[in-house]
Every structure is written in C-alpha cells, then in structure tokens.
C-alpha cells in the first residue's frame, strides 16, 4: 500500500504589495493553523518517508511547522518546481517516478493543483482543499507508477475551519 498526503500551504500574507507570489510569507492565521494541523496529522499516525514541497516562501514556512512536529530535517525535504503552478499532471508525473521503497509521501503545494490532483486520484470529490487542508489518500499498489485515475481511497480530509470558528 502507498499513501499520498496532499497538504496545501497555510494562509499567506498579502499585506506587502512589493512581494512576489513566490516571496509571500505566512500570515498570523497561517502561523496558528500550520502547527495545529501538523499535530493533528501526526496524531492520526501518518508519518512521511518523503516530503516534497513547492519552492514558495509560504509553503516552505508551512513545511517547517510540520518538520518541527515530526522532527524531520528540512535539508531532507525535496523542493520541486513541478508543484508550483505546473498543474496536477506535472505533479502526477513526478509521483510516478518516486522510488517504490517509499510508502508515504507528503506533498506541500497550492490550489487549484492540489484539489484537482486529489479529485483525479481519489474516490472522493472535494470542492476545495482550503489553506492548511490535508487530504490523505491510500492506494492498493506496489509502485507509484501504478496510480490510476480515481484508484485511491480517501482516508481522511482535514482542514482548520473544522476546528476553529471563523473570526
């Protein structure tokens, strides 16, 4: 069995118009939600063998909260351009090439790509993976290259607004 965990970056800060999309950091809510969701995911007993992230500042900051909770080294995190605005098929092609000794992958990225990818691969339709949302999909396969459209079973879908009231 293989497990794919899609994690959208936490809420970003739009207050500085001089920052490019890649440079935008997390805002206050993002800094609250990311450690909470990292702890929630860990409590569900899902641990990564491989962590891959988009190169954006907000995504890297989100990964750092998960790295702290899981005690993994940020130097071991793969930063891949395919996860930043190249579409779900680019991410899917990247996944298909992952070493089959890897059982569980965490991918930190962006919408609409993560939502589209989740809907392509899982048995559940999700309208939107919100910021810091987590979609966990299991596949009854031996090789990442065997993933077929809608062949995955959604184990869970979590997001901060299930736990925090809107302010």
Q: How many domains does the chain have?
A: 1
CATH label of the domain that carries residue 88: 3.40.50.1240
Per-residue pLDDT at 6 exceeds 60: yes
Kindly state whether residue 47 falls inside one of the protein's structural domains: yes
pLDDT digits (tens, 9 = 90+) for 24-78: 999 999 999 999 999 999 999 999 999 999 999 999 999 999 999 999 999 999 9
| Predicted pLDDT of residue 150 | 82
Kindly state whether residue 152 falls inside one of the protein's structural domains: no
Q: What is the pTM of this model?
A: 0.95
Domain boundaries, position 127: 2-140
Kindly state whether residue 156 falls inside one of the protein's structural domains: no
HSE-CB of 26 using CA atoms within 13 angstroms: 22
pLDDT digits (tens, 9 = 90+) for 121-162: 999 999 999 999 999 999 999 999 999 778 899 999 999 999
């Amino acid at each position: 069995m293989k497990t794919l965990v899609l994690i959208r970056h936490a809420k970003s800060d739009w207050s500085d118009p001089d920052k490019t999309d890649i440079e935008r950091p997390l805002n206050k809510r993002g800094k609250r939600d990311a450690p909470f969701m990292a702890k929630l995911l860990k409590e569900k007993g899902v641990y990564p063998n491989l962590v891959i992230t988009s190169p954006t500042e907000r995504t890297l900051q989100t990964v750092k909260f998960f790295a702290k909770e899981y005690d993994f080294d940020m130097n071991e995190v793969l930063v891949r351009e395919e996860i930043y605005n190249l579409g779900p098929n680019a991410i899917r092609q990247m996944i298909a090439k992952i070493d089959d000794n890897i059982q569980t992958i965490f991918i930190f990225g962006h919408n609409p790509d993560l939502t589209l990818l989740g809907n392509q691969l899982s048995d559940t339709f999700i309208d939107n993976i919100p910021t810091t949302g987590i979609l966990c999909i299991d596949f009854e396969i031996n090789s990442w290259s065997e993933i077929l459209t809608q062949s995955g079973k959604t184990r869970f879908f979590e997001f901060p607004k299930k736990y925090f009231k809107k302010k």
